[in-house]
Amino acid sequence: MNDNPLIHIQNISKVYEMGGEQVFALRDISLDIYPNEYVALMGPSGSGKSTLMNVLGCLDTPSTGIYTFKGLDVNEMSDNDLAEIRNREIGFVFQTFNLLPRATAVKNIELPLIYSGVSSSERKSRAIKVLQDVGLGERLTHKPNELSGGQRQRVAVARALVTNPSIILADEPTGNLDTKTGIEIMKLFRDLWLKGNTVILVTHEEDVARYAQRIIRIRDGKVESDEKNTVSQYSQGTE
């Protein structure tokens, strides 16, 4: 872990103006995240986890503070630059899946490739490949409402993976799933990490956090603790 950090944030705050009153969603957060880390972000509801994820994922910009992604200053970037970073470098997985309802699994997965200008034949073969990787090779032409919750989340994970991003951000990916399906999805993330991917995952379940290698706890927009996960044998990559 002594190469350059993938993500470097320093004294980041996010303030919302609510009827003249300032609401601090993030206060003075500093973090470094290195390639091939598996990080769990934990904390009570309203503590700022999603806000932090959105900032890390370049969906949102901090009010103050420094954010460098792969050495590039994110604060300096235009909307289009941010869109490009999101497209090429970041794979987002949402709690509510956020798939296009009318598009088939393959089409959903092709979407980020469309925006990065990949040819249609390559798009299709890459989409099918990742769908097979997440174990949905049989469901290529199903639409989201023809899939189970776990299957939808697999499609969402496949969509996050298809561009070979530098980092995968997952905001409560198991929040809408039952325990058994949740475990399957967590195995998927662990496998990705074992293959060398960088993963940040938001959760408020200790069971889920146990899969990670590093656990960051947040409270009231501040980092409460940031430590290596010693509890789990999974972090060693063995079962």
Ligand X SMILES: Nc1ncnc2c1ncn2[C@@H]1O[C@H](COP(=O)(O)OP(=O)(O)OP(=O)(O)O)[C@@H](O)[C@H]1O
Using CB under 6 A as the binding rule, whether residue 57 contacts ligand X is answered as no
Report, in angstroms and rounded to the nearest whole number, the Rg of the chain calculated over CA atoms.
18
From residue 148 to residue 187, the character string flagging contacts with ligand X as x (rule: CB under 6 A) and all else as - is ----------------------------------------
Candidates 41-49, 100-108, 119-127, 222-230; binding stretch for ligand X (CB under 6 A): 41-49
Using CB under 8 A as the binding rule, whether residue 77 contacts another protein is answered as no
Residue 154: CB atoms within 10 Å = 26
What distance in Å separates the CA atoms of residue 105 and residue 127, rounded to the nearest whole number? 9
Burial of 61-87, coded b for 16+ CB within 10 Å and e otherwise, reads: bbbebebbbeeeebeebeeeebeebbb
Using CB under 8 A as the binding rule, whether residue 141 contacts another protein is answered as no
- Smaller CB separation from ligand X, 1 or 18: 18
What distance in Å separates the CA atoms of residue 221 and residue 206, rounded to the nearest whole number? 19
Provide, rounded to whole angstroms, the least separation between the CB of residue 115 and another protein.
5
Candidate list 46, 102, 116, 164; residue touching ligand X; CB under 6 A: 46
Using CB under 8 A as the binding rule, whether residue 94 contacts another protein is answered as yes
- The answer to whether the CB of 215 falls within 8 A of the CB of 227 is yes
16 binds, among another protein, Mg ion, ligand X, none (CB under 5 to 8 A by kind): ligand X
Provide, rounded to whole angstroms, the least separation between the CB of residue 137 and ligand X.
33
Query: Between the CA of residue 193 and those of 50, 66, 75, 100, what are the distances in Å?
Result: 21, 27, 28, 27
Q: Are strands 198-202 and 72-73 parallel, antiparallel or unpaired?
A: unpaired
- Smaller CB separation from ligand X, 134 or 169: 169
DSSP conformation class of 142: -
Residues 6+ apart with CB under 8 A from 21: none
Q: Which residues bind ligand X (CB under 6 A)?
A: 16, 18, 23, 25, 43, 45-51, 204
Q: Which residues bind another protein (CB under 8 A)?
A: 54, 57, 59-60, 79-80, 83-84, 86-88, 92, 94, 98-102, 111-112, 114-116, 159, 163
